Amino acid sequence: MARILVTEPIAEGGLERLRAAGHYVDVQVGPTAGELLDLVKGAHALIVRSATTVTTEVLEAGTDLVVVGRAGIGLDNVDVATATARGVMVVNAPQSNVLSAAEHTMALLLAQARNVPQAHAALVAGRWERSRWTGVELSDKTLGVIGLGRIGKLVAQRALAFGMRLVAYDPFVSEDRARQMSVELVDLDTLMATADFVTIHVAKTPETIGLLNAELLAKARPGIRIVNVARGGIIDEAALADAIATGHVGGAALDVFATEPTTESPLFGLDSVVVTPHLGASTHEAQDKAGDTIAEQVGLALAGEFVPFAVNVSAAEASETVRPFLPMAERLGELFASLSGGGNDTLDVEYQGQLAGYDTRILTLSLLKGYFGRVSDEPVSYVNAPQLAAESGMTVRETATTTARDYVNLISVRGGNHALGGTLVGLRGEPRIVMVDDHTVDVPPARHMLLVRNDDRPGVIGTVGTLLGNAGINIADMDVGQSSSGDSALMVLATAQSVTPAVVDQLLAADGVTSVAAVELS
C-alpha cells in the first residue's frame, strides 16, 4: 500500500479508484509551502492541480516519491527537471480539459467580437448603451492559431463552422497535416500581420515566455484582437495594454495571467478587454476526466507499469503493436541481470520483425528498468533507468531489422558472455524465453527459474529431475537447448517453488552438471 498525498480538490471518483487499489489517500487541501514540506515526507505519490507548486525543496523532502501527478495539462508549477534527476515520474492528464479549453476559447472569441460582458455590465448598471457596443462578425475574418496541438485543432474546427479563414503557426506540424485541417501554415510574423483574431495554444516554456512582446505586436495587423486561454506569461501584458491603449490592437480576451491569482493588471481598466479567472478547464466534465485520468496514471506508476502520460520519460509513447511486449522486455532485463551478475559495460539490444518498424525506445527503457531493478538498491522506474545506466558507465546500443528470422517478432539482448531472446506467441500473446546464451529454448518466464548447464549425454535430465523432486520442488515447465557444437546442453526450468542454495549445491555436485543458476523474478 502506498501513501498518496492530494493537496487540491480532485474528482472523488478518481480518489476512490486509488483507494480501491489498496492505497492510502491522504487529502490535505491547500497546505502552505512549509506545511507541504512536512506532508510530502513518506508520501509515494503527490497529486496537485495548478495552485500547488512542486519545487526542488518539495521533491528533496519527498524522498519516497515515485510519481507526481498534475490533474490537468500545464506543468509550469512542477519542477520537472529536478523530478527527472531524482527518478520521480511526472504525469499529467493532457486530454482531460482540451474540449473545455477549446470551448472557452470560442466563448472568449465571441465575447470579444460582440462586447458581451461590457454590454452586460452597462445594462445591469442601468445604462442602455446599444450603439456603444457594436461588434464585428467572425464570418470571413482570418483567425491566426498559434499552436495546432489538441486544443488548437479543436478551435480551428469550430472556427471553420463560423466561416473563418484559418492560418496557423506551428513548427511541429507538417503542411500536409495542416492542409487536411483547412489551415494554411505561415511564420509568426506573417500570422500577426494577416490575422483579424489570434488565439494562443502553446505550452509555457522558456521559448514561449514573452512570445507576444512589444516587437511582435508592432508587426500585427491594425485592429487585431488576441485571445489567450493557454498560459499566462506568453503575452507581455504591459506591452499588450500599451498596444490596446494606442489603438493598434483592437482588443483582447484573457483567461490566464503571468501571476495568478491576480486582481490587478494594466489590462483590467481597458474597455476592449474581456477577462476571466483561469476558467479554461473549469467545467464539471473536465474536472471529472482530470481526476479519473490522473488517478489511473498514478496507479500505473505506483505499480511499476507503463504510464502513457508520463511527461519525463524519454519515450512515453507505445503503439498498440509495441505495448504488449513491455512486460516481456522487463523480464528479459531482469533475467539478464541475474544471469550476468550485473556490471555489464555494454548491452546490445536488437529488435527483429514487425517490431522493428515501430518506435521501440520504450521497450529498451522497460528492459533497463528490469535490469537495474535487479541490481540497484533504489527504486527503479522508466524515468531513472537511463540515468542509472549512465551512472554505471553502461553503453546501450540498439539495432533493428524488419527481417523476420525464426519468429515474427524477437527481442534479444547481449552483453559480456550472455545472451537472451524473448517473444510473444499465439493469439493471446503469451511470453516465451526462446534463447539463452545462443541455446534455442521455449519456456515462459516464471517467478522461479532454474538454468542448468550440463554435458549433452543421457541421464543428466533425469538426475536433475530426481534431485528437485526429492527437495519437494515441482517443475512447472522445462525445455532443453543444445549448443551449436552439440557438446553441451542447457536446461531452462520454471519451478513452482524457489530453489534453495542447498539444492543448488546438490545439483552442482551431480555428475554431468557444469553450472547452475537459480533466478527469482519479480
pLDDT category of residue 393 using cuts at 50, 70 and 90:
confident
| pLDDT tens, position by position, 495-509 | 999 999 999 999 999
Name which of 61-75, 134-148, 225-239 the model is least confident about: 61-75
What confidence tier does 156 reach under pLDDT thresholds 50, 70, 90?
very high
Taking Cα atoms as reference points, which of 234, 225, 162, 168 lies closest to residue 197?
225
> With 70 as the cut, is the pLDDT of residue 169 above it?
yes
What number is the average pLDDT over the span 15-22? Answer: 93
From the candidate CATH numbers 3.40.1050.10, 3.40.50.720, 3.40.50.2300, 3.90.850.10, the one assigned to the domain spanning 98-275: 3.40.50.720
Q: Give the confidence band of 487 by pLDDT, cuts at 50, 70, 90.
A: low
Residue 191 has pLDDT above 90, yes or no: yes
Mean pLDDT of 316-323: 71
3-95+285-302 and 440-522, same CATH topology: no
pLDDT of residue 317: 60
Beta bridge partners of 274: 253
Residue 163, pLDDT score: 97
Q: What is the pLDDT of residues 272-303, one digit of tens each?
A: 999 999 999 889 999 889 889 999 999 988 98
Tally of residues, the chain: 522
Q: Which of 8-17, 266-275, 280-289, 358-367 has the highest mean pLDDT?
A: 266-275
pLDDT at 461 over 80: yes
Active site residues per annotation: 231, 260, 278
User: pTM value?
Assistant: 0.64
Residue 316 has pLDDT above 60, yes or no: no
Query: Rounded to the nearest 10 degrees, how much is the dihedral formed by the CA atoms of 371, 375, 377, 379?
Result: 10
Q: What is the DSSP letter of 402?
A: -
Instruction: Determine the pLDDT at residue 341.
Output: 78
Cis peptide preceding 379, ω within 30 of 0: no
pLDDT single digits (tens) 399-452 = 999 887 788 999 999 998 889 999 999 888 899 999 998 888 999 988 898 999
Please, what is the average pLDDT of the chain? Answer: 91
More confident of the two residues 430 and 319: 430
C-alpha cell at 519: 533466478
pLDDT, residue 243, reads 97
Q: Does domain 3-95+285-302 have CATH number 3.40.50.720?
A: yes
CATH code at 313-437: 3.30.1330.90
Peptide bond into 261 cis (omega under 30): yes
Mean pLDDT along residues 141-161? 96
Bridge partners for 27 per DSSP:
6
Residues with Cβ < 8 Å from 124, sequence gap 6 or more? none
Q: Where are the domains of the chain?
A: 3-95+285-302, 98-275, 313-437, 440-522
Give the pLDDT score at 379: 66
**pLDDT beyond 80 at 488:** no
Does residue 29 have a pLDDT over 60?
yes
Phi, psi (rounded to 5 degrees) for 66: -105, -35
For residue range 48-66, list pLDDT tens digits in order.
998 899 999 999 999 999 9
Confidence of residue 251 (pLDDT cuts 50, 70, 90): very high
The mean pLDDT value for 84-94 works out to: 88
Write down the pLDDT at residue 484.
62
DSSP state of 220: S
pLDDT of residue 467: 93
β-pair partners for 47: 6, 69
Give residue 242's pLDDT.
Answer: 97
pLDDT at residue number 267: 96
The superfamily (CATH) of domain 440-522 is ACT domain (3.30.70.260)
- Fill in the DSSP letter of residue 314: T
Q: How confident is the model at residue 207 (pLDDT cuts 50, 70, 90)?
A: confident
Residue 486 has pLDDT above 70, yes or no: no
Higher pLDDT, 26 or 385: 26
Higher pLDDT, 482 or 453: 453
The candidate with the shortest Cα–Cα distance to 313, out of 263, 372, 352, 366, is 366
Residue 141 has pLDDT above 90, yes or no: yes
Q: Write the CB contacts of 207 (distance below 8 Å, at least 6 apart in sequence).
A: none
Q: How would residue 195 be classed by pLDDT, with cut points 50, 70 and 90? A: very high
pLDDT exceeds 70 at position 483: no
- What burial class does residue 428 get, using C-beta atoms within 10 Å of its C-beta: 0-12 exposed, 13-18 middle, 19+ buried? exposed
Taking residues 201-206, what's their average pLDDT?
A: 86
| pLDDT of 485 strictly over 80 | no
What's residue 456's pLDDT?
Answer: 81
- Is the predicted pLDDT of residue 388 greater than 90, yes or no? no
Q: Give whichever of 224-238, 330-344, 469-483 has the largest mean pLDDT.
A: 224-238
Grid cell 517467478 — which residue?
Answer: 447
Q: Which of 298, 319, 320 is nearest to 309 (CA)?
A: 298
**How far is 115 from 123, CA to CA, in rounded Å?**
12
